Amino acid sequence: MLKVGDKAPDFLLQGYFKDKFKGYSLKDFKGRWLVIFFYRLDFSVVCPTELVAFNTKIDDFHKLNTALVGVSVDSVFSHKKWVEELGELEYPLLSDFNKRTSRDYNVLLEEEGTSLRSTFIIDPDGIVRYMVVADNYVGRSVPEIVRVLAALQTGKMCPAEWRPGDSTLS
């Protein structure tokens, strides 16, 4: 069972980004922070609200030297069609069509064949520093993910409701 402090499972997934199909692996992000978020399916109800919300905060992720990738069990061709409907995204959507990565990250609903709504923050050394796995019916808070990412990057203890610029704890 994957947990915080573990080495993040490697992956090799095809992705769609800016009109191109390309392979992505965990090694591509070595030396940078990475946020991987799994979502249920393209063309679903809650997921487009999240993809757009992540897109509106892309500058915040870039300021924190963080790459962002979305992952679902849909094909890259489905991702392409969905992006055409949603509008351009500033991060890639990766296809876990064989469901191996969802299994490795312990978020696959085997009976449905889809992933749970989940978020993983991985540090530049490939260590899982934060993970949240939630019911598929409730969208996540992207500002909270940015806040936690900034807190982790301080390398210090941060109190409840900490915000960038606030004091850390000794």
The per-residue pLDDT string of the chain (170 residues; one tens digit each, 9 = 90 and over) reads 999 999 999 999 999 999 999 999 999 999 999 999 999 999 999 999 999 999 999 999 999 999 999 999 999 999 999 999 999 999 999 999 999 999 999 999 999 999 999 999 999 999 999 999 999 999 999 999 999 999 999 999 999 999 999 999 98
Given a contact cutoff of 8 angstroms between Cβ atoms, the answer to whether 134 and 118 are in contact is yes
pTM to 2 decimal places: 0.96
The CATH number given to 31-154 is 3.40.30.10
Question: Could you tell me the two tokens for 35?
Answer: 């946020």
Between the alpha carbon of residue 27 and those of residues 14, 73, 122, the distances in Å are 14, 21, 12
* Domain coordinates in residue numbering, the chain: 31-154
Choose the catalytic residue: 13, 35, 36, 47. 47
Please report, in angstroms and rounded to a whole number, the separation of the first and last CA atoms in the chain: 32
Per residue in 116-140, pLDDT (tens digit) is: 999 999 999 999 999 999 999 999 9
Q: Tell me whether residue 47 is one of the annotated catalytic residues.
A: yes
Given a contact cutoff of 8 angstroms between Cβ atoms, the answer to whether 33 and 64 are in contact is yes
pLDDT recorded at residue 34: 98
pLDDT recorded at residue 170: 85
Query: How far is residue 144's CA from residue 132's CA, in Å, rounded to a whole number?
Result: 11
